[in-house]
């Protein structure tokens, strides 16, 4: 029963990871740029939630919507102003660009908030649901449900809206998309905005579960990389599957072996998958 509890908790956290990684996957799948500042964007979202929630006294779940919108706008602007110019450049130049951005973001957060960990106080932080022998933290259930909703919304956007379809056309065939008159640069900016919005929602939800400090950004970037490669870079269900896998593997290895070993397991899992199935579990060959 204890193991089941831990597995389910890991699964729920994993859904939030999945939503964060979804952002990375969408950005890479369409724009073919690896967002090395992904974790930094996540931390920005967490601080934005923290700030809005403590200043207004509102629940983080209420400020989630404006934070998501803010991240969308930031992502949109970033792609429009800066990253669009580097799409056709070599990988290492894109890497350096995003590294510079990541450094600036972390430094700005340090300047604004200092190095100490921050969190939000919730009166339902220790509530839990009991289903049979299964004990579930309320915050974790809420976060997971939110993540699932976010992912579903993104899926519906790509499936049903005109813009979503245009972006998918763009991902399949950039030149073709240009030929039929799609504004690829604008679609790219929207895509980056959407990727950032995923991170925005994931960050707000994550703040229900953990503290935030500027330097954890790199950990989130690495986490997002592991997840999307596990699931298949560019695959939406793959990102969620990868997130759940990593969430469960972290929870179990942290409990069975010791907490400091938990990311070693994720990395081992990643190496295994890359060598056996380089395109990821659900990726296209």
Partner 1 sequence: MRGVPLLGLSPRVAAALGLFVLVMLALPFFANDYIVSVLVVVLFAAYFGQSWNIVTGFAGQLSLGHALYVGLGAYTSAALFVHFGVPPWLGMPAGMAVAAIAGTLIAALSFRFRVGGVYFALLTIAFAEFVRILFGHFKWVGATEGLFLPVANLAHQDLLRLRGSPRMFYYFLLALTLGALGLSHLLLNRRIGYYWQAIREDEEAAQALGINVFRCKVLAMALSAALTALGGGFLAFYDNNLYPDTVFAIGRSVEIITAPIIGGLGTLFGPILGAFLLTTLGETMTSLTSGVEINGLKQWLYGAALLAIVALQPAGIWPWLRRLIGLETRR
Give the binding site for partner 1 (CB under 8 A). Answer: 28, 34, 86, 89-93, 95-97, 99-104, 106-111, 114-115, 214, 218, 222, 225-226, 229, 233, 260-261, 263-264, 267-268, 270-271, 274-275, 278
What is the distance between the alpha carbons of residues 129 and 139, in angstroms, rounded to a whole number?
Answer: 10
Q: Which is nearer to partner 1, 12 or 97 (CB)?
A: 97
Tally Cβ neighbours within 10 Å of residue 46: 31
**Nearest distance from residue 112's CB to partner 1, in Å?**
8
Q: Which is nearer to partner 1, 32 or 138 (CB)?
A: 32
Q: Which is nearer to partner 1, 4 or 264 (CB)?
A: 264
Which of 102, 98, 100, 120 is CA-nearest to residue 48? 120
The span from the first CA to the last CA of the chain, in angstroms, equals 39
**Nearest distance from residue 123's CB to partner 1, in Å?**
31
**Nearest distance from residue 243's CB to partner 1, in Å?**
16
Q: Say if CB 97 and CB 81 are below 8 A apart.
A: no
**Nearest distance from residue 124's CB to partner 1, in Å?**
33
Q: Which is nearer to partner 1, 14 or 214 (CB)?
A: 214
CA 255 to chain centre: 24
Q: Which is nearer to partner 1, 1 or 275 (CB)?
A: 275
Six-digit token pair at 62? 């209420």
Q: Say if CB 242 and CB 31 are below 8 A apart.
A: no
Q: Say if CB 262 and CB 250 are below 8 A apart.
A: yes
Q: Which is nearer to partner 1, 3 or 261 (CB)?
A: 261
**Nearest distance from residue 214's CB to partner 1, in Å?**
7
**Nearest distance from residue 4's CB to partner 1, in Å?**
27
What is the distance between the alpha carbons of residues 25 and 235, in angstroms, rounded to a whole number?
Answer: 7
């Amino acid at each position: 029963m204890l193991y089941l509890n831990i597995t389910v908790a890991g699964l729920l956290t994993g859904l939030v990871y999945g939503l964060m990684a979804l952002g990375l996957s969408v950005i890479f799948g369409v724009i073919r740029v690896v967002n090395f500042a992904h974790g930094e964007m996540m931390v920005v979202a967490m601080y934005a939630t923290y700030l809005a929630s403590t200043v207004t006294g509102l629940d983080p779940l209420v400020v989630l919507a404006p934070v998501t919108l803010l991240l969308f706008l930031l992502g949109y602007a970033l792609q429009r102003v800066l990253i669009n110019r580097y799409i056709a450049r070599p990988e290492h130049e894109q890497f350096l660009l995003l590294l510079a951005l990541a450094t600036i973001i972390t430094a700005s957060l340090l300047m604004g908030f200092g190095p100490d960990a921050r969190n939000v106080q919730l009166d339902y932080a220790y509530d839990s649901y009991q289903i049979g022998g299964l004990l579930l933290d309320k915050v974790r259930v809420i976060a997971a449900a939110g993540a699932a909703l976010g992912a579903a919304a993104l899926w519906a956007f790509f499936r049903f809206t005109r813009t979503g379809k245009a972006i998918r056309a763009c991902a399949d065939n950039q030149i073709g998309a240009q030929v039929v008159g799609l504004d690829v640069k604008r679609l790219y900016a929207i895509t980056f905005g959407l990727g950032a919005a995923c991170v925005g929602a994931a960050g707000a939800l994550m703040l229900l579960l953990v503290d935030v400090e500027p330097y954890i950004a790199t950990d989130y970037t690495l986490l997002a990389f592991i997840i999307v490669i596990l699931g298949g870079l560019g695959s939406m269900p793959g990102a969620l599957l990868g997130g759940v896998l990593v969430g469960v593997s972290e929870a179990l290895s942290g409990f069975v072996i010791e907490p400091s070993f938990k990311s070693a397991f994720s990395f081992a899992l990643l190496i295994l998958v890359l060598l056996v199935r380089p395109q990821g579990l659900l990726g296209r060959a």
